[in-house]
Amino acid sequence: MSSNNNSTPGQRFRDAVSSEQPLQVVGAINANHALLAKRAGFKAIYLSGGGVAAGSLGVPDLGITGLDDVLTDVRRITDVCDLPLLVDVDTGFGSSAFNVARTVKSMIKFGAAAIHIEDQVGAKRCGHRPNKEIVSQQEMVDRIKAAVDARTDDSFVIMARTDALAVEGLESALERAAACIEAGADMVFPEAITELEMYKLFASRVKAPILANITEFGATPLYTTEQLKSADVSIVLYPLSAFRAMNKAAENVYTAIRRDGTQQNVIDTMQTRMELYDRIDYHTFEQKLDALFAAKK
């Protein structure tokens, strides 16, 4: 979908980071949710790798998904929503620099604004689960260099995610973050932070925007935007909040229909037909269709 101005998606993401401190970024599991997020006033959205795995494929976030799986959802979102989209590309979808390059070029081609790439091994795990393994600092730096070199648009954002805190400790995570910025990364995503003051340490060390992943039921407390602003965080991510709520609501509806033999008892919890039509601009499409058929008569 074309944007409201002539800037690139990457530049719009950078502008959003600069203009809203900290920038709230919400996960949009699909194109419809992207439109809901825009309507709610958010300036940027996110596509979670775990969300693609669980939501689109029904599998765990254990490195099962591939580039094409993610690109399918990226295209669907960017086709209808011009909010800048940050995309989780796991470890780059392949073991070589060529794989990382293909991922970056594809994301730009499909309209993404930014990616984050991490330092876990190929057989990765959710960032808030135990027994994670990470590659060497040099291998992570090489991933960043490959991503930066592959950019066909200099405004496209390369964000380095490190999972080193839970594996090797704080100092290792800080060193990796600094090395990634030196290699050309634009921003840093320290995963599974357990103390608010840690964000300040990252911001001080790398002198670049820091993302805080405020995911529910994980290792990181649910800090407020004010708390995170005081810790020099530039971006606050809520990766799966709406997805979790959507799933719980669906379970309740399925249970009620199966139990009661009707949806009457849960109808008040549903989005109405008119609300849905309003969110997806149904009547505008319908009017265009009517006008097209009228012109052919």
Which one of the listed residues 118, 119, 163, 186 is annotated catalytic? 118
Which one of the listed residues 90, 119, 163, 186 is annotated catalytic? 90
pLDDT digit string, tens, across residues 239-284: 999 999 999 999 999 999 999 999 999 999 999 999 999 999 999 9
Higher pLDDT, 74 or 121: 74
Q: Any residues with CB less than 8 A from the CB of 82 and at least 6 apart, and which? A: 1, 2, 3, 4, 12
- The confidence band for 5, taking pLDDT boundaries of 50, 70 and 90, is low
Q: Is 69 a catalytic residue?
A: no
Which one of the listed residues 33, 128, 161, 176 is annotated catalytic? 161
**Sign of the C-alpha dihedral computed for residues 57, 60, 64 and 70 taken in this order:** positive
Q: Is 268 a catalytic residue?
A: no
**Residue type (1 letter), 141:** V
Could you tell me the domains of the chain? 9-242 (3.20.20.60), 247-296 (no CATH)
Q: Is 88 a catalytic residue?
A: yes
* Mean residue pLDDT across the chain: 95
- The confidence band for 297, taking pLDDT boundaries of 50, 70 and 90, is low
